[in-house]
Structure 1
């Protein structure tokens, strides 16, 4: 089975990444297409049935990461980044885009070979007799539960830190430069609930803890969990717990 590679270079005339593949004769992979940063990469991925993207970001880290973001808006195809730096911030951003590997400059062809083999094993584990495109699709579905998506962890951290504020998934998506629908899908796949349901759960569970362990007034608790309108907090709390905030606090003191 041949897995189709799309090589993306800042300057397509360099063909550097493709030369790695040709010189080392990596089995089961073929360079199906090459492109530069200005190309419509998601369209190429769909049209050419791409199994893996090799994205060369050497000398163009910011522009290269923007290309990675463009890919992730529409596709979960495996991506290996080549020519990165040892900068932690850049590596962390790469993790947010759920890349398969991040190879720093200078790229060792042997290390690239190991990365390709790791991707191939993942595709084979879920694809077997399927076409490369089908294998990529099912890799996303079956591998995520065993390996939490870094971007979902980032969303949850954001919620924890900003729970007292008005939070929407679109705000988070915009700040991370991600497609909102894509983030919503990734979040639901991993957490088995929508982002809004998760946000409500976190607000209500914190409110319950504050009611049970502090003497804060209820309007203060409502504000601490992101509700500026006390009546709306009362309504949401009753719907979530089946009782009012006052009744819940009394029950906690009785059973304490």
Structure 2
């Protein structure tokens, strides 16, 4: 569930925005509020918000100072700035700091909801982008980039792994295929690629699994088989250990492209 944080020192405005968004979201989003920039920053130390709607003028820490602090922390979410002051400098500064939109009080409910919808579309877009970046394993890119300087045995090993990824292959099996001692092959593989055979095989399996999750509608058990895992349960465990989410969650995260809010 995505979280929207409302920050405004004026109780009537803060509660009005919260009431409007709670009614609009119908439980789809978590709506939180803070009565000051100080309170919001303290809350954000232990919580996260996908969207912040903040007043620009508040005592102690105003909206712009809050943005600067969040940016310095590296945790700047999507921001909508609200203000009763139609001053261009505030708008310009907030946009320079990364604010998504600047809207004026008194707030029109329809305009507010429209701004929130567009802001949440941006949140979704960022999440899809992050998920797609995770599709590519940087270590595999590195191994592939350096492949030209590998010896023939390692090049052949990599080719064999790729061709037999759907099988339950082992290091000994690949070493035997190359007519090499397994212990010697293990050392040689790590020496040339910078990763162990086991790590490379797992990364290659998960890379292929991600591709199938994103480009096909295959069930999880079938994908597990396609990438060489004998049971879906073990595949899910390996995937989750590596990515922090299950294969099903990963697929949903990458493919959830519906920009509408039901």
Q: Larger Cα Rg: Structure 1 or Structure 2?
A: 2
Could you state the TM-score of these two structures normalised by the residue count of structure 2?
A: 0.42
Could you state the TM-score of these two structures normalised by the residue count of structure 1?
A: 0.43
